[in-house]
């Protein structure tokens, strides 16, 4: 009869991770205990799968035990510094802490998570990578995809929606990878991985090319993926080919830009914003047959090309919906936002061009 104990504080962090990762669907919000070369914990939202290794000396058992994440969180929340004692019996799991006992009777499932093998693709700094992943997927419909794409040995993360695309250049080497990942599960993954507080992780690809893995000490989390169709791959390569062609044409204080975009979007969320960028001023307008709003702000005109010439010779005009740029600006935390141009395309990003949102004229 396997018995083991877990520190409540550490266990609570694991529960928080699994709670974020499993989303809102009640049927997915379970923690599974099983044995494979030691005690493991497993949780899944149907696309993401996460396995934690628990360093416990206990006898081997052949079945898997499922317990509600919510039930476990409520049971241990009043005693964060105490040990939680688990007892796995034939048709139940018994949990003790201090003077409390929780007994959950059920038939243990015999299905144990598949042991997957991942080929290492690269190592990434956690905080920076997750910040870029958050930026590139901040405003997407739930049924869309996020793309992981390696070009010239560097991993890019890209999303495309409406006439907007967001691109994050990891600037880190990665083995060849072209994969599409469901947006909704990406957001679950992001919320969970942010809780691990690790400095770096290893990115891996499954042998069947159907999963991408994120491995840290004591944890392997993977997400379902699919290989790209030929037309998808060509489209992504074309968009990434634009990236080096974008050249900086202006620099705007982030707070000024964010303030004006946010206010215009709040005044009329359904109207596109007309933006006019000149060397010394920035104008925002909202227009319809019965409505007009404008705001003009003075901006710093000291930004020059390396040769010392003024970048903008004539006003640059762009029309876009404010919600896209507003969401992106909240995730570019540098003091200044750089405006980039390639032919008729304008983009906003940081000075290093790691994070770039490209807006096309929708009128």
pLDDT digits (tens, 9 = 90+) for 7-19: 898 899 999 999 9
* Domains of the chain from N-terminus onward: 3-105 (3.10.150.10), 118-245 (3.10.150.10), 247-359 (3.10.150.10)
Instruction: Give the contacts of 294 (CB within 8 A, at least 6 positions apart).
Output: 283, 284, 285, 286
Q: How confident is the model at residue 44 (pLDDT cuts 50, 70, 90)?
A: very high
Helix (H), strand (E) at residue 357: strand 355-359
* Residue 305, pLDDT score: 61
More confident residue, 231 or 78: 231
Name the DSSP letter for residue 251. E
What are the strands of the beta sheet with 92-97, ordered from one edge?
3-7, 83-89, 92-97, 100-105
Q: Under a CB-based contact definition with an 8 Å cutoff, are residues 124 and 43 in contact?
A: no
Model confidence at 109: pLDDT above 50 = yes
Q: Tokens at residue 125, please?
A: 């700094």
The C-alpha atoms of residue 219 and residue 139 are separated, in whole angstroms, by 28
Using the predicted structure, report yes or no on whether residue 281 has a pLDDT greater than 70. yes
Which tokens hold the place of 48?
């993401």
Whether 312 has a pLDDT exceeding 70, the answer reads: no
More reliable by pLDDT, 305 or 279:
279
Sheet with 211-216, side-by-side order of all strands: 65-68, 30-35, 39-44, 49-54, 219-224, 211-216, 200-206, 118-125
Greater confidence, 163 or 275? Answer: 275
pLDDT in tens, 60-71: 888 889 999 999
State residue 354 phi and psi, 5-degree precision: -75, -40
Q: Which letter, b or e, does each residue of 300-331 get, where b requires 16 or more Cβ atoms within 10 Å of its Cβ?
A: eeebeeeeeeebbeeebebebbbebbbbbbeb
Indicate the pLDDT class of residue 173, thresholds 50, 70 and 90. very high
CA distance 260 to 284: 7
Q: Give whole-number Cα distances, 266 to 202, 278, 356, in Å.
A: 41, 24, 23
Are 84 and 93 spatial neighbours (Cβ–Cβ below 8 Å)?
A: no
Q: What is the DSSP string of 316-355?
A: EEEEE-HHHHHHHHTT--SSEEEEEEETTEEEEE-TT-SE
Secondary structure (3-state) at 1: coil
């Amino acid at each position: 009869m396997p018995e083991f104990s877990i520190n409540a504080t550490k266990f609570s962090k694991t529960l928080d991770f699994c709670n974020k990762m499993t989303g809102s669907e009640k049927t997915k919000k379970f923690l599974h205990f099983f044995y494979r070369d030691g005690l493991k914990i497993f949780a899944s939202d149907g696309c993401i799968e996460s396995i934690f290794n628990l360093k416990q000396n206990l006898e081997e058992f052949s079945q898997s035990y499922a317990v509600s994440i919510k039930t476990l969180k409520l049971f241990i929340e009043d005693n964060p510094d105490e040990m939680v004692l688990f007892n796995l019996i034939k048709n139940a799991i018994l949990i003790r802490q201090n003077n409390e006992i929780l007994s959950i009777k059920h038939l243990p499932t015999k299905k144990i998570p598949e042991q997957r093998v991942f080929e290492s693709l690269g190592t990434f700094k956690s905080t920076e990578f997750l910040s870029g992943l958050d930026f590139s997927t901040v405003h997407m419909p739930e049924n869309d995809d996020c793309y992981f794409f390696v070009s010239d040995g560097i991993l890019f993360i890209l999303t495309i929606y409406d006439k907007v695309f967001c691109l994050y250049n990891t600037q880190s080497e990665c083995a060849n990878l072209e994969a599409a990942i469901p947006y909704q599960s990406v957001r679950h993954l992001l919320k969970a991985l942010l809780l691990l507080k690790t400095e770096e992780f290893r990115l891996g690809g499954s042998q069947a090319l159907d999963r991408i893995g994120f491995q840290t000490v004591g944890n392997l989390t993977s997400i379902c993926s699919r290989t790209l169709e030929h037309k998808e791959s060509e489209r992504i390569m074309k968009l990434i080919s634009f990236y080096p062609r974008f050249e900086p044409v202006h620099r705007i204080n982030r707070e000024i830009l964010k303030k004006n975009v946010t206010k215009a979007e709040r005044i009329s969320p359904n109207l596109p914003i007309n933006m006019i960028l000149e060397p010394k001023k920035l104008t925002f307008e909202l227009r319809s047959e019965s409505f007009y709003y404008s705001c003009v702000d003075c901006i710093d005109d000291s930004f020059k090309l390396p040769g010392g010439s003024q970048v903008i010779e004539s006003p640059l005009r762009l029309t876009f919906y404010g919600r896209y740029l507003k969401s992106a600006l909240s995730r570019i935390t540098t003091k200044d936002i750089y405006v980039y141009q390639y032919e008729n395309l304008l983009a906003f990003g940081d000075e290093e061009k790691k994070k770039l949102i490209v807006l096309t004229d929708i009128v």
